[in-house]
Amino acid sequence: MPQLEAIPAIDFQSETYKDAYSRINAIVIEGEQEAYDNYIKLGEMLPEHQENLARLAKMEMRHQKGFQSCGRNLAVTPDMEFAREFFSSLHQNFKDAATEGKLVTCLLIQSLIIECFAIAAYNIYIPVADDFARKITEGVVKDEYLHLNFGEEWLKANFEASKAELEEANRQNLPIIWRMLNQVADDAHILGMEKEALVEDFMIAYGEALSNIGFSTRDIMRMSAYGLTA
Ligand code: Y39
Ligand code: FE
Ligand code: FE
Ligand code: FE
């Protein structure tokens, strides 16, 4: 159901809330760590952008510290083992692509898919967050648009040469995002975040990114729904 139709008071101290938060908070902390690692790796693959990519990596480190403080503020211990497992498929795919020198695939995984996932999750979280976490998340989401923009700009400038690899990387990795979303839907719901809203925000951000890079509306429809029912 649309999440604005009714916003019941959320008890941030209830055991139910804190249990769900221990997983979602861990996912975000792990995600920020992997984003840091991925931008460092991208800097090695793109020496002419290394300085800029190191700045993006540093932002991810700050995000991680911010979200760790959100967990502490609620006296929640993040379930990091769950989070590492949650990211393992994407993590492996990024690692394999980096080993094979597939820069375009690495950019699609981190700067498009993961950043759009973060943008959707953070935007949907802000209105239902506790006051402390809301302020932190508002600062973080601004940075995530910069990260998405880096990937868009590079891929746009190299569109013709990247197109085939982007399509293949989308085919391999987008279904993983839908699976990840399904895995956290129940916990997200407890935090006041509806799966439908997350899917919608992700689709909008990802579709806009593909459009900015140079894909046609027809391509975007085909690509962004890939694996949605998986
Ligand atoms: O670029 C970034 O900072 C991305 C790593 C962060 C990803 C966060 C993933 C959020 C998914 C949470 C799902 C909640 C429903
Ligand atoms: Fe609901
Ligand atoms: Fe981040
Ligand atoms: Fe980011």
Per-residue pLDDT of the chain (230 residues; tens, 9 = 90+): 555 556 668 999 999 999 999 999 999 999 999 999 999 999 999 999 999 999 999 999 999 999 999 999 999 999 999 999 999 999 999 999 999 999 999 999 999 999 999 999 999 999 999 999 999 999 999 999 999 999 999 999 999 999 999 999 999 999 999 999 999 999 999 999 999 999 999 999 999 999 999 999 999 999 987 877 65
How big is the CA angle at 125 (ends 35 and 16), to the nearest 5 degrees?
A: 105
Rounded to the nearest whole angstrom, what is the distance from the C-alpha of residue 24 to the centroid of ligand 3?
14
Going from the C-alpha of 15 to that of each of 19, 84, 106, the distances in angstroms are: 6, 23, 38
Cβ atoms within 10 Å, residue 217: 10
Q: Which of 36, 38, 114, 179 to mutate to test the pocket of ligand 1 (most atoms within 8 A of CB)?
A: 114
Rounded to the nearest whole angstrom, what is the distance from the C-alpha of residue 36 to the centroid of ligand 3?
8
Q: Which of 27, 65, 194 to mutate to test the pocket of ligand 1 (most atoms within 8 A of CB)?
A: 27
Rounded to the nearest whole angstrom, what is the distance from the C-alpha of residue 60 to the centroid of ligand 4?
6
- Nearest residue (by CA) to ligand 1, atom 14, is 121
Rounded to the nearest whole angstrom, what is the distance from the C-alpha of residue 151 to the centroid of ligand 3?
14
- C-alpha span between 179 and 120 (Å, rounded): 15
What ipTM was reported for this prediction? Answer: 0.94
Atom of ligand 1 nearest to the CA of 28: 8
- Nearest residue (by CA) to ligand 1, atom 3, is 32
Is 175 within 8 Å of 131 (Cβ atoms)?
no
Rounded to the nearest whole angstrom, what is the distance from the C-alpha of residue 185 to the centroid of ligand 2?
10
pTM of full prediction above 0.90: yes
226 dihedral zone (left: phi>0; alpha: psi -120 to 50; beta):
beta
